[in-house]
Amino acid sequence: MTKTTWLAIIACTFTCVASHAQQGLVGEYFNGTNFQEKKMTRTDARIHFVWNNVAPAPGIAPDEFSARWKGRIKAPESGNYLFRAHVDDGIRVKVGNQMVINAWGLHDSEPFSGTVYMEAGRMYDLQVEYFNGLLEGEIQLYWQLPSEKPVFGGAFGYNDKPIDSKYYYQPESAVSAVPKQQAPVNKPASPPKKTVTAPPKQTPVVQKPKPVAVTPAQAPPKQAAISADTLEKYIPKNILFVQGKSIMLSESQPELDRLAGFLLRNPALQLSIEGHTDNHGDSAKNMILSEERAQVVSAYLTGKGVAAQRISAKGYGDTRPLQKIATGNAKNRRVEFKVRY
């Protein structure tokens, strides 16, 4: 075989492998928050989605679905990487064998982060699991390179950014099949008999991992069961009242309509409504106002068909602030929902 022929074979080998090392992640989308009913598989360039009461694909419920992305991620440099996810509702991120983020519960557009060490140029298996269990859905995955430190030590936020699609690759199984098919092409002349008998011996080895692969695929749903503790403190974005009164504004209705629909589709769930105020004004009056607002929300939901015995409403006034400052705080004026079994 001439030198030119060898160079042609090598060039073809690298070209074929490169064509199979496709970028992007394999995304699987399911109906249900527990990966119950698979509806679609597609390639996603990156994980950066905000679904404002819109389904990720036709045939999927917009407020009760789950997704799983699998692939590999390539580290451009060595060091500790900060992974951060902005999510509504639950997320798990696994890099290699390390669980980097585990926040499997209802969250209202909250950030979660974790770190993992990676070496420059290496490919790491990546798995990201997500579910949306109530109203809007959101998942945005970021990272901060080892050389990109937080701004002023993090005092002004992270220095992370959305992970560029050029660092994502599809699972290795899509690439590993290429060399196996080319090996017989490069060695047909010398030992044809040995080359023919070798594959049958290797075939059982390839088939044996199949039962093993079924076990991890079934394990996540068992871990994904939503317990009562994870269904706490859902704070809706748009429950609005006239200032200082218990008169609910019409802008609140779409949010409560979606919540009512969710409860009607899940009759086993119970709902606790908690009213809260800031510490501006008289505490006794704040207690009464928060109680009235919680009752108004309860009455609206029962008017939409949710059974009254499934709902409890209570006011806490200014006794449970989210942020403690001298006087007032807009974030403390809120209605909280606790959904439980």
Residues in the chain: 341
Q: What is the per-residue DSSP string for 67-91?
A: EEEEEEEE-SSSEEEEEEEEEESEE
Q: Which residues of the chain have pLDDT under 70?
A: 1-21, 150-158, 173-238, 324-330
pLDDT reported for residue 340: 78
Q: What's the pLDDT at 114?
A: 92
CB 106 within 8 A of CB 232: yes
Q: 119 is in which domain, residue-wise?
A: 21-173
Same domain membership, residue 331 and residue 257? yes
- Cα–Cα distance, 237 to 138 (Å, whole number): 14
Shared-domain flag, residues 25 and 168:
yes
Q: Is residue 213 part of a domain?
A: no
Close Cβ partners of 124 (under 8 Å, ≥ 6 residues apart):
72, 73, 74, 75, 95, 96, 118
The candidate with the shortest Cα–Cα distance to 35, out of 131, 103, 116, 99, is: 131
CA R_g for the chain: 26
Does residue 26 share a domain with residue 159?
Answer: yes
Shared domain for 259 and 120, answered yes or no, is no
Structure confidence at residue 196 (pLDDT): 43
Residue 273, domain member (yes or no): yes
Same domain, 150 and 33: yes
Distance separating alpha carbons of residues 263 and 158, to the nearest angstrom: 37
Strand pairing class (123-132; 110-118): unpaired
Query: Residue 126 contacts by C-beta under 8 Å, 6 or more apart in sequence?
Result: 25, 69, 70, 71, 72, 73, 93, 94, 95, 168
Helix-helix angle 253-265:283-303, to 10 degrees: 60
Residue 38 lies in a domain: yes
**Amino acid at residue number 29:** Y
| CATH code of the domain in which 66 resides | 2.60.120.1560
Q: Same domain for 145 and 273?
A: no
Asked if the structure places residue 71 within a domain, the reply is yes
Which residue among 173, 189, 207 closes a domain? 173
Query: Is the residue at 285 inside a domain?
Result: yes
What pLDDT sits at residue 157?
57
Residue 107 domain-assigned? yes
Domain count, the chain: 2
233 and 169 in a common domain: no
Residue of 26, 24, 71, 20 whose CA lies nearest to 176: 20
Residue 321 inside a domain? The answer is yes
**In 104-252, which residue ranges form alpha helices assigned H by DSSP?**
173-186, 192-207, 209-223
Boundary-marking domain end, from 131, 154, 173: 173
Domain boundary among 134, 149, 173: 173
The answer as to whether 220 is a domain residue is: no
Query: Among all chains, which residue has been given the structure tokens 């390639």?
Result: 43
